Structure 1
Amino acid sequence: MLVKPIWLVLENNVQNQMGHAAFGTFAALFSFTFIFTSFTDLGIYHYFTKQMAAVPTFMATHLPVVLPFKTLISLIFPFIMLLAGWAIGYQKEELYYLTLVGFIFTFTQFTQFLRGALQAYQFFNLDSVMSVLERFFLIFIIVVLLYLGITLESYVYARLASVLLAFGILCLLFRKKFGSFPAKWSWQQLIFLLKASFPFAIINLVNGINEKIDMVMLERLASSREAGIYAGAYRWVDAVMMYLWTVLPIFFAKFAAHQHQPLEQQKLLRFGQMVVSIPIIFVCVFVFFYGEKLFWQFSNSSATELSLMHLNLQILFANVCVHGFFAIYANILTASNWELAVSKLVALSIVVNVTLNFIFIPVYGSLAAAVDTLISAVLVSGGYLLYLRPKLNIPVPGDLIFKLLVSGLALGGIFYGLSFIFTIWWVNTILAGIAFLGVLFLTRVIRIVDLKANLFPKK
């Protein structure tokens, strides 16, 4: 639980010491590689994960065929990235780092795949240790480098070293648990698996573009400094969005279990909207008033850079707020077998985002990327709402959305009023949180009867 917040603090220090330009270069290279991670296994990992949940023997049957193929394409992947980087104009030094980042992703993805085998054979405790081992090594190395003085080159080496250490330990444990790595070649079986996994590869590619294209375009169309400033703000977006990606899968399973029961899905949707939206609203309003407090570690940044990071943060958290309101609608649609409809909306938002980026990033830099992301999020969220009744026969809970909006505006008013009474930001935040809870009961967003019905259902 402590690994992620520790890493968040450390990465801020890394960027502060490296500088925005150097870190922006790394962020762009990392994002560019992330977009193409589906080529490291062509969707095999996600297909295996889904199948193992239904057929426990699936891994044992197909692993010997997949493992040699995955090894081959994983080792080729960094050189694919080298070619792709050359195609978009990266120079010699950048191509060198891009190749190393490609190897980082190769071993990260391979580690994830082998962890799937541990999960399949129910070595859950071992898998949980392996899930944080790489980050543990990285934290230790980065602490040393921060003391000695960190550079872009040493940071890339640190990332690669930590991944290799974790991968090496996993390989030793894998050999101990399962003996030699199984391997056989069957074209027929392999082609069957690749056809089945192909949709997952496409989904991963679309999601990768949707998540990371802004950083790449910023560095290419503006500057690495602009990309670094954007990365400094976006880091907090990633941290807060982890709440969504933790909660939404829980509701996904519940929506899927009731996909032929619209009334049950409607009840779950209202409760899920409340659970997802309320914390996000509070965090987003806090960022609007006190977002600059999140950049306390950037002692080497100028006042202009800090101001730009803060403005980026506010715009990006408007985007977070949109997701906090409407991501659950994508969740219910996907759980009800409307993945294609959701993918089309995401693809449309990518086209809009990329088009706007080409037009405005050269002029407005990181601010354009933040605004374009917000516009795309609003567009795709509107599509989710339009699909809800035609696809699922569930009405949009407009009354609840309105109450949440009113509660959010009231919270903003509370923060604003408290700023005239107290000058200590954390005191105002605590008082606003208490007051916000009262507002939620007054607006009947939270009702005791709903909490009892969802948390303590009758058997």
Structure 2
Amino acid sequence: MKLTTYFYNANWLIIEKLISLPIGLITSIFLARYLGPEYFGVFSFLISAVYIFLPLMQFGLNSVLTKELVSLTDKTNEILSTALSIRLLASIFTFIVGVASAVLFNWIDERYLVLFVLLLFSYTFSAFDIFNFWFESKKNNRPVAITRVLTLLLFSILKVTVVIKFESLNLLLLVQATELIVGYLLYYLLAKIYQCHFKWQPSYAYGKQIIKKCWWLIFSGLAAALYMKIDQVMLGTIATKSEVGIYSVAVRFSEMSYFLPVAIVTAFFPFLIERKQASFTAYNKTLAIFLGGLCWLGISVAIVVTLIATYLIKILYGTEYDASASILAVHVWGGVFVYMRALLSKWLIIEDLLYFSLVTQGTGAIVNILLNLILIPQYGGIGAAWATIISLAIASWFSFFFTKKTVKIAIIMTCAPFVFPKHCLSLINKKK
């Protein structure tokens, strides 16, 4: 397949995000201004608390599904049927575990328990996300991108209307839950429209096979969710909900550009698989070029955001959120490692090093939790931002130096941003 096809596919993902970002930003500004730091903090706290359970519902299938659908085109229905069955069972089990943990350990305030349950229930529909990967495998993200933008626009209008007219946090979270349910079900409807001849015929044998492939990814995804969202959850329990509101404004700005590496790598993932099959040298060169480019993209974004952070927060969110600016100027630098990690996650799948994904993500999660326990009581949101950066650096770069199978890619990560890729390719050109 021509390289231009992958660029076309990537463009649709990027265009989607370029449209979605302003919509999401405007919605966020309205919510933050009308709710105030405390209630916006509650909203952000509940979203983060529920998000931590999402990897268990996804069951590590996301990236594996694309690879399976690209490699085994004659078994598309078997793959989709089995994956949907696994995801539905995993979602139901996770919902029960999540609700039980909130009730037994009382880590969710009783005032917000029903809202937490509602949001967690809406994520059980994420099982239908598997049809999104069918579109990815077909290199056709256009219909999905258009549908996601229209859905986001509709529900953003509803959220702003609810907050302005009713000033109700409960109604706002009801709209949020409805948006998730509708968004996931639309993947299935789109697939049917685009002639995905799906019949629910799961294969027990294939299910066992794919679970073995995903086992490491389940826990690595959970670990990743922990070190990406645990800061807001811990702020909400150790500090105050207002601190969460101030911190979440900064984090939203910091994470706004994360779509870039994800869109690029997602669109080019099938290309990387085919590159590996065609030429080991060309595959390694592509990895080196991508890593260097992603690193500098992350650095460029961090520099710009750091310089304008104070003006952005003051103009858009008002004086109530002034403290968000200093948090943003720190937190945004973690994006450098997030950008490179987007490619490394796919590389681990291609190289069948799924266990190492768990090791690195788990290490990052543990470090982040420990640092949050130390830094949040004394420094609040700034401490949580530093904890995030350090844990990201360890999980997405430093930990790759400690095994023979990953040290070469770690060296490439280190040198690729500073020298032309061909000068460091000799480190990985030989097959293991």
- What TM-score do the two structures reach when normalised by structure 1? 0.73
2:140 & 2:264 partners in 1: Cα distance? 24
Match for residue 81 of structure 1?
98
Match for residue 309 of structure 1?
324
The aligned runs of 1:21-420 (5 Å cut-off) are 21-64=38-81, 67=84, 70-75=87-92, 77-86=94-103, 87-107=105-125, 109-116=126-133, 126-167=143-184, 182-183=199-200, 190-249=207-266, 257-258=275-276, 264=282, 267-295=285-313, 296-299=315-318, 301-302=319-320, 305-306=321-322, 308-323=323-338, 335-380=350-395, 381-384=397-400, 391-392=407-408, 396=412, 401=417
Note closer, same or farther for the CA distance 1:283–1:158 as it changes in structure 2 (3 Å cut).
same
> Which residue type is aligned with residue 298 of structure 1?
Y
**For the aligned residues, what is the CA RMSD?**
3.9
Give the conservation status (yes or no) of the 8 Å contact 2:49–2:229.
Answer: yes
Give the conservation status (yes or no) of the 8 Å contact 2:289–2:416.
Answer: no
> Which residue type is aligned with residue 6 of structure 1?
I
2:83 & 2:385 partners in 1: Cα distance? 40
Aligned residues: 402
1:339 & 1:260 partners in 2: Cα distance? 22
Structure showing greater relative contact order (alpha-carbon pairs closer than 8 Å, 6 or more residues apart) = 2
Measured after TM superposition, the shift of residue 315 of structure 1 is 0.8
> Which residue type is aligned with residue 280 of structure 1?
G
Give the conservation status (yes or no) of the 8 Å contact 2:337–2:393.
Answer: yes
> Which residue type is aligned with residue 110 of structure 1?
A
Give 3-state SS (helix, strand or coil) of 1:89's partner: coil
Measured after TM superposition, the shift of residue 240 of structure 1 is 1.7
Match for residue 408 of structure 1?
none
Measured after TM superposition, the shift of residue 401 of structure 1 is 4.7
Measured after TM superposition, the shift of residue 280 of structure 1 is 2.7
Note closer, same or farther for the CA distance 1:147–1:328 as it changes in structure 2 (3 Å cut).
same
Is 1:4–2:13 an aligned residue pair?
no
Match for residue 428 of structure 1?
none
Measured after TM superposition, the shift of residue 370 of structure 1 is 0.6
Note closer, same or farther for the CA distance 1:355–1:12 as it changes in structure 2 (3 Å cut).
same
**Structure 1: which 5+ runs fail to align?**
404-444, 451-459
Give the conservation status (yes or no) of the 8 Å contact 2:238–2:377.
Answer: yes
Give the conservation status (yes or no) of the 8 Å contact 1:78–1:106.
Answer: yes
Measured after TM superposition, the shift of residue 85 of structure 1 is 1.9
2:197 & 2:269 partners in 1: Cα distance? 38
Note closer, same or farther for the CA distance 1:123–1:396 as it changes in structure 2 (3 Å cut).
closer
1:81 & 1:37 partners in 2: Cα distance? 10
Give 3-state SS (helix, strand or coil) of 1:57's partner: helix
Larger Rg: 1
Give the conservation status (yes or no) of the 8 Å contact 1:39–1:201.
Answer: yes
Measured after TM superposition, the shift of residue 16 of structure 1 is 1.8
2:57 & 2:413 partners in 1: Cα distance? 41
Give 3-state SS (helix, strand or coil) of 1:90's partner: coil
1:40 & 1:57 partners in 2: Cα distance? 27
- What TM-score do the two structures reach when normalised by structure 2? 0.77
Give 3-state SS (helix, strand or coil) of 1:297's partner: helix
> Greater CA deviation, 122-131 or 77-86?
122-131
Measured after TM superposition, the shift of residue 156 of structure 1 is 0.4
2:295 & 2:136 partners in 1: Cα distance? 32
Give 3-state SS (helix, strand or coil) of 1:43's partner: coil
Measured after TM superposition, the shift of residue 100 of structure 1 is 1.0
**Structure 2: which 5+ runs fail to align?**
1-15, 424-432
2:333 & 2:112 partners in 1: Cα distance? 33
Note closer, same or farther for the CA distance 1:159–1:262 as it changes in structure 2 (3 Å cut).
same
Q: 2:30 aligns with which of 3, 6, 13?
A: 13
Measured after TM superposition, the shift of residue 138 of structure 1 is 1.2
> Which residue type is aligned with residue 39 of structure 2?
A
Match for residue 10 of structure 2?
none
Measured after TM superposition, the shift of residue 73 of structure 1 is 4.5
Identity among equivalent positions (%) equals 18
Give 3-state SS (helix, strand or coil) of 1:19's partner: helix
Give the conservation status (yes or no) of the 8 Å contact 1:111–1:170.
Answer: yes
2:209 & 2:337 partners in 1: Cα distance? 40
1:51 & 1:253 partners in 2: Cα distance? 10
> Which residue type is aligned with residue 370 of structure 1?
A
Give 3-state SS (helix, strand or coil) of 2:317's partner: coil
Match for residue 440 of structure 1?
none
